[in-house]
Structure 1
C-alpha cells in the first residue's frame, strides 16, 4: 500500500489532470477530444485509488455490456500493467463475466451495461462498499432518467477516508445533450467538476499523431472543434427528426408477418468505420425498426464476413456501397451470397432521405452508434451559415448503410444513373 501511494500519476499519464484526480465531489465529468488521455487517465486513477483505499469498489458502466470489453476493460488492464509486474500479479482478471479483483484485499471492479438494469441495482459487494462509478462514453446515455437510476445506486455511508463519486467521460458531440445543462452549465456547485480536455495536453503524441489533427483542422473545421478541441458540437437542422429510442423484443418483432428485414453495408477502413445496418420495416404502418449494427474501423473483408456471419446474417440479402465492387466480390466469395451493390445516382442521397423521412424510425437502445449518428447527421451549410440541400459528410456511415438497405421502400422514387 505504501508503495502505491508514492506512484506519480503525472509520471504515468502526464500533465493536465491534477484537478481531476484530486477532486472528491459527487460528480466528476470530463468531456474531451480524441487522444485527450481522458480514458487512460481515468483508468489509471481508479486502479491507484482502489489499491490505496482497501474499502473501495468500482462499478464501470456503458450503455451496452458488449462494448465494455474493448473499451473500459482494456483500458483498466493497460493501467494495471503500467504499475509494473509486481502490482499486476496482485490482480485477478476474468473475462466471463468481466470482473477484476485486487487479490490482497478482495476489492472488485464490476462491469455492467444499461441494457440489463437489474444487474446494476442488485450488486452486493463482499469487501467494503461500492462507492465509485465510471460511466464511459456517457454521451450514449440519451435518457437522463437512466443516469438518475445509476446515481441512486451509489448510496449509503462511506467509511472514514472514503468518498462517493460518479465519473462520466464522453466525447461532446451534441450541445443539446442533458449532460451539458446538468453539469457544464451548473454554477458554483462544489459537488461538480466539469472539465474539458483535448489532444494538446497529451505529451505522448508524436508528430504523425499531431498531423492527423492539423489535417482535420484544415479539411473539416467543424469536426475539429469537437474531435480536436473537445468543444460541444452545435447541431442544427437534423436530417432525421422522425425517430425515437425504444426498447423492443427483437425476436417478437421479427415474428410479425408485416415486417420485412433489410440489411445495408457501407465500407470503411482506416479513418471511417465499416458500418452494417440491420433493420425491419412495416410499410403499412410506415415504421422502420433498427435492431442491430456493426461499426468498426480496420476491418478487412474477411473480418466483415466473419462478423456478419457470427451475428447470423450471412444468408440475408445485403445491399452494399457500389463504390467498392471488389469488396462486394470478396464478400460474395467468402459466403455472403445475398450481397448486391446498391443503386446509386446523382439524386439518390436526397431522394433516399426524403423517402425515409416519411417513416417513423424506432431504434433499439443497443444500437449506440446509430443513435450517435442520427443525433448528429445534419444539413450542411455554406460559408455564410445558410443551409444547403445536402447533408454533411460526417456521421453518415450507418445513415448511408440504412439508405442502401431501404432503397426499395415505397415512397418518392429514387433517381438512378
Structure 2
C-alpha cells in the first residue's frame, strides 16, 4: 500500500479517532475531501466496518466522493484487493469492510442499512437538519465505536451546520467560537474534532489556482470569504450595515444622556410559523439614531394569551402601531384597552419602509433583544433567478423588522438627498 500525497496540516487528522464527530470546514482546494476519503480507506483496511457516504443528491456521488475513493484505491496500489463497483456504487474490502453511497433525496433506501459505524456527510451544509438527525439514528453498531465525519465549504451562519456545531443565537446555544477555530486551526471539544483548512494547506495545488481564488476578492467578496478564506459569514448584501448591538445598560444610558423625546412601539402579528413581535424604540432626531431597547417575541399564542402577556401596555397607554392586515385582531386589542392603531400600507410600502430604516445613521440595539439581534444582524436582500438583488425581499421573514416598520409608520427619517435640493 502506497500513500503518495498527504498534506502536513491533515497528517494528524488521518489517525485521529477519539471523538464521535469530526467537523471539517475549509475553502476551495484545501484537500479536505481527499483526506477524509483517504482516512476512511485506511480505517476500513484495518477494521471490519460498514461506512456510509452521504450527499444530499445521490447522483452527485459519481463525480465526487465515489470518483475520489476509486482513484485513491488505484493510487494506493489496492485495486487488486479492493473491489470497486459502479452499479450500484460500492467499495468492498478483503476483510469484509465496505463503503456504500446514499443520497438524502432517496431516504427510503436508508432504512435497509444496518450496522453502520462510520458515516461521512460530504457537503453537509447542503443536507437538511432533519436529514442529519435521521442519519444519527442510523449510526449504530453493537461493539464498534461510532464516528461521523462532516465536511463542508462554509456557508451562511444561519445554516444548521453552523448553528449546531458553533453558535445558535436563537436558542442561546454556544459550542465554539468559529473565530477561535480559524486562529488555532484544529480544536477538540464537546466530543467533536474541528479542523479548518484553506488552499494554502494544499501543497499540491498549482499557484495559478490560488491566484484565481485571490481574484474573487475584487468581484465577489462573499465568495472570496468562502472559497479563499474558508470562513462562515453572512451571504449577500446586508440590509442594515449600520446595525450594532450594545449591553442593555449602555443603551439605556445613551438614551438618558440625549434625553430621548421620540418613543415608538410596533407590532407584527403571527401564530403558527410567524411570530407576534413587539418592539419598543426611541429616536435621536438630530443624530438620526434609532434605539431598540425592548422586545416581545412569541408564536402559537391565542389573542387572549397575548393580551395577558402585554397587559402592561394597557396601563402605560403607549400607542402601538400594528400590522393593518389584521383588522379583526386590532379591534380585539382595542376592545381590551390597548391604544392600538393600524399602520398604513400601500403599493411599494415595503420598499419605502426599508429605505426609511436605512436612512438612520446608527441603529443601536440592546443585547437583551435577542430575536431582533438575530434577525437584523444577518438580514440580507433576496435575489431573483438571475442573481439580481430584490430590494424589498429578504433571506428570512424578519418579524421584528416588520414591527419596526409599523412602529415608525408616522415618523419620517430625513433623507440626506433633501439637503442638496435647490
TM-score, length of structure 2 as denominator length: 0.51
Q: Distance in 2 between matches of 1:168 and 1:72?
A: 13
**Offset from partner CA, 1:249-288 (integer Å, 9 cap, x none):** xxxxxxxxxxxxxxxxxxxxxxxxxxxxxxxxxxxxxxxx
Pick the aligned partner of 2:127 from 101, 121, 141: 141
Aligned partner of 2:37 in structure 1 is: 43
Alignment match of 1:165 (pick from 147, 168, 171): 147
2:222 counterpart of 1:227: no
Inter-CA distance 74–238: structure 2 relative to 1 (3 Å threshold): farther
Aligned equivalent of 2:95: 105
Asked whether the 8 Å contact 1:12–1:82 carries over to 2, the reply is no
Equivalent of 1:81 in 51, 74, 83: 74
| Cα distance in structure 2, aligned partners of 1:202 and 1:223 | 19
1:152 to partner: Cα distance: 1.1
Contact 2:24 2:152 in 1 (8 A): yes
In the alignment, what sits opposite 1:155?
140
Shift of 1:121: 2.5
Match of residue 26 from structure 2: 32
Q: CA deviation at 1:18?
A: 3.0
Question: What's the counterpart of residue 198 of structure 2?
Answer: 198
Name the SS for the 1:34 alignment partner: coil
Deviation, 1:202, is 0.7
Assess, with a 3 A threshold, how the Cα gap between structure 1 residues 238 and 97 changes in structure 2: closer, same or farther.
farther
Q: Report the alpha carbon displacement of residue 207 of structure 1 after superposing the two structures with TM.
A: 2.1
Q: Distance in 2 between matches of 1:401 and 1:176?
A: 20
The answer to whether the 8 A contact 1:20-1:28 is kept is no
TM superposition shift of 1:220: 3.0
Contact 2:121-2:151 within 8 A present in 1 as well: yes
Write out per-residue CA displacement over residues 59-103 of structure 1, whole angstroms, 9 at most, x where no aligned residue.
Answer: 01111111111111111112112202xx1111222222211111x
TM-score by length of 1: 0.51
**Pairing partner for 1:96 from 87, 93, 104:** 87
Structure 1 Cα separation of the partners of residues 58 and 110 of structure 2: 11
1:15 to 8, 11, 26: 8
Structure-2 residue corresponding to 1:399:
385
Q: CA RMSD in A?
A: 3.3
2:116, 2:141 within 8 Å by CA — same for their partners in 1?
no
- 1:117-128 to 2 correspondence within 5 Å? 117-124=107-114
Q: Secondary structure at the match of 1:51?
A: helix
- Counterpart selection for 2:52 from 48, 59, 70: 59
Give the drift of 1:107. Answer: 1.9
- Answering whether residue 64 of structure 2 is matched by residue 71 of structure 1, we say yes
Alignment-derived partner of residue 344 in structure 1? none
Give, in whole Å, the separation in 1 of the partners of 2:99 and 2:161. 25
- SS for the counterpart of 1:157 is coil
Structure 1 stretches lacking a partner, 5+ long: 240-353, 358-380, 404-417
Q: How big is each residue's C-alpha offset from its partner over 1:199-225, in whole Å with a ceiling of 9 and x where there is no partner?
A: 010101122122112212344333211
Q: CA deviation at 1:122?
A: 1.5
**Structure 2: any 5+ residue segments left out of the alignment?**
168-174, 177-187, 240-346, 351-357, 364-379, 390-422
Distance 1:109 1:174 in 2: 31
Output one character per residue of 1:19-72: Cα deviation in whole Å (capped at 9) or x when no partner.
Answer: 42233211111111110101111111111111121x112101111111111111
Name the SS for the 1:13 alignment partner.
Answer: coil
- In the other structure, the counterpart of 1:215 is 215
C-alpha contact (below 8 Å) 1:31/1:171 kept by paired residues: yes
Contact persistence 1:135–1:168 (CA under 8 A): yes
Q: Which runs of 4+ in 1 moved over 6 A?
A: none
| Number of residue pairs matched by the alignment | 239
